[in-house]
Chain A
Amino acid sequence: MKPFYLLLLLAFAATLFISCDNSVSNDDNIEIDEPASYDFSRDGESSVAYTGQTTRIKMADELFVSMSDFDQSTEELLLEMYRNQTENGGNTDPYTDADLNGSTKSVKSKVAASTDYFSTNASQSAIIKNDFEAWITAQVDEVFPNRNELAEPGKAGQIADGSNARYVSAKGLEYDQLVNKSLIGALMTDQILNHYLSGSVLDEGTNPEDNSAGETEDEANYTTMEHKWDEAYGYIYGTSADPKNPNATIGQDDRFLNKYTGQVSEDEDFENTADDIFKAFKKGRAAIVAGEYEVRDEQVEIIQENISKVLGVRAVYYLQAGKNQLSDENDGSAFHSLSEGYGFLYSLQFTRIPGTEQPYLTHNDVVGLLNDLLGDGPNGLWDVTSETLDSVSEEIASRFEFTIEEAASN
């Protein structure tokens, strides 16, 4: 191509861009003012709040810790920690942290409770909520009485993992790990991706008009849309050392989504993950302040993709780690890894393909793969083969844009 024509083409292209710009500036020419940290205010006061999310992360943490406290915990206590209610719906103080006892919130009420996935699917929500109760009950009924027995195929008890003891079910599952890792999907991810960042929540009722008009909620310093966004933020950063700059300690602030976002980002194949998630949260919040809802929705898609990826990578990582530990005849370490993998696989039904209302793996996909994992023989993980672990890993990886090799390294 002769230089002259090239120049002409460039000039033409430039006019295209200019005309695009014009169309944007028709919309009041709003600019997004993005702060350096997650720091937003109105009239000199912070407009960010997510105490309910911090509370639930802490409740979930106490529940997990108490599940292996053989001396203090009872089935009743553990279920009350899950529900923050007695069996009959009465008030209870099951936590060691008095602030948690003073709260009326609970873990259970937000498990599988998102608008997009569960508002018209109460039966599935109930199944999932009950899975957690079943794991808690089984921990007390099966594992507690056998805590001083050696585990063997078909018999619950303890098994060595290095110099630690792991406490497993007759099928080799650690129920506390199932609860821990499954909550990352059923509570944190579901609430973030399918509830608070959902269009049906952010844009519910007159939220967009109120937000554009700067209309705050009663006795609050935030608009409803701002607050919904911040509540999503709280489920990943709600216990951060510095919540305005959470990536300074990402991975160290809880045992749930924060922790594994940090761990996945330590793998050089996924090193930008934590950064991408935080930047999208920050830019999206700034876009809400600016009333730029298209920019906001672009950030939502980045968050959908990356949080979903954290869960997918971690599921494959633990299944592969377990496979290698089994081949090293290190059953205790393997059962621990595979229990973590089981929980992350369970969590995948709460992921979300960007720009859709679909998870990367459906509830039925997940149930099928979990059955595969425990289905190589009568005794679950005691019987699982490396072929099964590879085929389940392959099925997960095929739904995402990463390979088993990338996920398995760390």
Chain B
Amino acid sequence: MKRVTLSVLSIIILTVIGYSCSDDGPSGPDVLDFDRQSMLKNWADNIIIPSFTALSEKTEELDSTAERFASEPTLIHLEELRGAWEAAYLSFQNVSMFEMGQAMQLRYRDQMNIYPTDVVEIQNNIESGSYNLELPSLNDSQGFPALDYLLYGLSETDSGILEYYTTGTNSEDYRTYVTDLTTRIDELTREVNLHWIETYRDEFVQNDGGGANASVDMTVNDYIFYYEKALRAGKVGIPAGVFSGTPLSTHLEAYYRKDLSTDLLLQALNATQDFFNGKHFESDETGESLNSYLDYLNTIKNSDDLSTLINMQFDAARDKIESLDDNLVNQVENDNAQMLSAYDELQMNVVYMKVDMLQALNINVDYVDADGD
């Protein structure tokens, strides 16, 4: 009898302790108390749609300069086309992280920016004249990297490149291939942009709850996936040989143009930091963001605001990248150690965002590394 009394008593005591613990446990507000919808509105209306709209204007310009070049392949028109390609490629860095909605359906990023581009496949396509650019196996013979090769990589000299489009065998097929690529870039971009404006924006903003299929969870996952895989690994880690042990300069973005690689990387880094801070497209204004969300939750790491740590780390990575050669091919081939330390700076924010931030926001990672078979 005594024992029974004791154990009942201890259960009561434990329950009381447990209850008071769970009452005191969470510090600060609940993750779903934050105004997620106003953050989603800020993302859609002030960042994502304006970025896609700006890119869409540039891809339209790209396509029309390509048409001009194809009908009259002169050096002036080549330079004009290269300028439009550069502007569109830089602008693309602002949207590449938003692989959702129609972009996900189309696998937009895979069609736009798989590099290294497959030079042999490009030649085969041009020579055979029969190719279906919708095929997944042709992802790596189209998009910005294929144009990089076609506008800069065919020959050492501009006159040598022009020959492919003027007097060379298959010159007409080369011209057609270039415009086929620019048309596809433009059409896919317009499709994604219009889908955002006409359909997806409202759906995206209304889906403001929590859970794996909520807009916030999906966007944040896409964002971190992009940062980790496309930016950190694709633009820096793989060419620096972080994963293979051997530096691979041919795996750099804009390998044939060469001196654009650092600018593309910086643009991508700025875009990811601006998104983190909810900074409106081409403006200094900011709205609700991951930054303000973390502050709302009062997220602290090592006695600093996590949002501050993340921004400091973005800044540190940018400082490092700005110190690199404009031409990352030179950087990798001559002083890869600097490239590796840029990678290390980028990697720090994978930890802050993928581990600390997701924990604070109670978001689960929805992607895993494939088992590779």
Contacts and interface: CB of A to CB of B under 8 A. Distances in A.
A263 B105 CA distance: 31
Interface stretch (A121-129, A156-164, A234-242, A349-357): A156-164
Interface stretch (B47-55, B134-142, B340-348): B134-142
A163 B137 contact: no
B371 A148 contact: no
Nearest to A159: B136
A329 B104 CA distance: 10
Contacts of B373: 255, 259, 340
Interface string B139-158: 11000000000000000000
B320 interface: no
A160 B137 CA distance: 8
B132 interface: yes
Interface in B123-176: 132, 134-137, 139-140
B257 interface: no
A71 B110 CA distance: 24
Contacts of A166: 136
A159 B137 CA distance: 9
Contacts of A158: 135-137
Contacts of B135: 148-150, 158, 165
A147 to B, nearest CB: 8
A166 B373 CA distance: 11
Q: How large is the interface on A (under 10, 10 to 19, 20 to 34, 35 or more residues)?
A: 20 to 34
B190 interface: no
B77 interface: no
A332 interface: yes
Interface string B87-112: 00000000000000000010100100
A133 to B, nearest CB: 23
B370 interface: yes
B185 interface: no
B114 interface: yes
Nearest to B104: A329
A212 to B, nearest CB: 44
Contacts of A165: 135-137, 139
A148 B373 CA distance: 22
Interface in A302-356: 329, 332, 340
Nearest to B137: A165
B134 A163 contact: no
B114 to A, nearest CB: 6
Contact of A263 (B110, B114, B371): B371
B110 A150 contact: no
Interface string A131-174: 00000000000000001111000000011111111100000000
Contact of B370 (A162, A255, A259, A329): A162
B371 A160 contact: no
A160 B132 contact: no
B133 to A, nearest CB: 11
B358 to A, nearest CB: 19
A150 B131 CA distance: 12
Interface in B333-373: 370-371, 373
Nearest to B131: A148
A187 to B, nearest CB: 18
Contacts of A259: 373
- Most B CB atoms within 10 A — which of A158, A159, A160, A259? A160
B371 A150 contact: no
Contacts of B107: 160, 163
Contacts of A163: 107, 110, 114, 136, 139-140
B134 A150 contact: yes
B6 to A, nearest CB: 26
Given A160-B107, A163-B110, A148 B132 contact: yes
Nearest to A317: B371
A145 to B, nearest CB: 14
B217 to A, nearest CB: 13
B251 to A, nearest CB: 14
B136 A164 contact: yes
B103 to A, nearest CB: 13
Nearest to B366: A328
A351 to B, nearest CB: 21
Nearest to A147: B137
A162 B373 CA distance: 13
Contacts of A162: 110, 370
Nearest to A333: B370
Interface string B178-216: 000000000000000000000000000000000000000
Nearest to A251: B371
Interface centre among B105, B110, B132, B137 (most CB of A within 10 A): B137
Contacts of B136: 158-161, 163-166, 332
A150 B137 contact: no
A120 B135 CA distance: 49
A150 B114 contact: no
Nearest to B105: A329
Contacts of B139: 160, 163, 165
B370 A150 contact: no
Nearest to B130: A148
Which of A158, A166, A340 is packed against the most chain B CB atoms within 10 Å?
A: A158
A332 B136 CA distance: 10
Nearest to B134: A150
6 contacts: A147-B137, A148-B132, A148-B137, A158-B137, A255-B373, A263-B371
Interface of B: 105, 107, 110, 114, 132, 134-137, 139-140, 370-371, 373
Interface of A: 147-150, 158-166, 255, 259, 263, 329, 332, 340, 410
- Name the 9 nearest CB pairs between A and B, nearest first: A160-B136, A165-B136, A165-B137, A163-B110, A158-B136, A160-B107, A158-B137, A158-B135, A163-B114
